[in-house]
Amino acid sequence: MTAAPPIVQIARLRPTARLPIYATEGAAGLDLSACIDEDLELAPGVFAAIPTGLAIALPKGFEAQIRPRSGLAARHGVTVLNSPGTIDSDYRGEIKVLLINHGPEPFRIAHGERIAQMVIAHAPQAALREVLFESLDETERGEGGFGSTGR
């Protein structure tokens, strides 16, 4: 038995904003589009917060994750700078996508262009219990950090 999907309320802040869509039946992410008055150029190494013209109300216990579109990253080096960006269930402002151009060429963004994807995910708040470091369960990895599991 599959649980019913969460209901996410969505509002257009501008009439030209495009509602996000799932591109395919099996897509996990909703495509988000730029809602801008004129084309914007991202020079190499430059980042910008791109408005979507949308605001949402998520159910408590859920978040929206803003993730890169794989095609933009693979073809142009354009990605979401704070990937994944988190939209908390109590945020009611405009969704903006923090894009950065890691590619060698300027990248032009037009109104309505799909710039990121939004994944709705369960995000329970954990109950924290402070303990002494020595009482943490031992693992095979231990304190091995960056790169400790090999290539």
Cβ neighbours of residue 98 closer than 8 Å, sequence gap 6 or more: 47, 48, 49, 50, 66, 80, 81, 82, 85
Helix (H) or strand (E) holding 70: helix 70-76
Question: Could you read off the pLDDT of 75-121 as tens digits, one per residue?
Answer: 999 999 999 999 999 999 999 999 999 999 999 999 999 999 999 99
The per-residue pLDDT for range 19-69, each reduced to its tens digit, is 999 999 999 999 999 999 999 999 999 999 999 999 999 999 999 999 999
**How many degrees, rounded to 5, is the angle at CA 29 between CA 83 and CA 127?**
60
Beta strands at 78-80 and 62-67: parallel, antiparallel or unpaired: unpaired
Q: Catalogue all structural domains in the chain, each as residue range(s) with its CATH number.
A: 9-135 (2.70.40.10)
Q: How far apart (Å, rounded) are the C-alpha atoms in residues 81 and 85?
A: 8
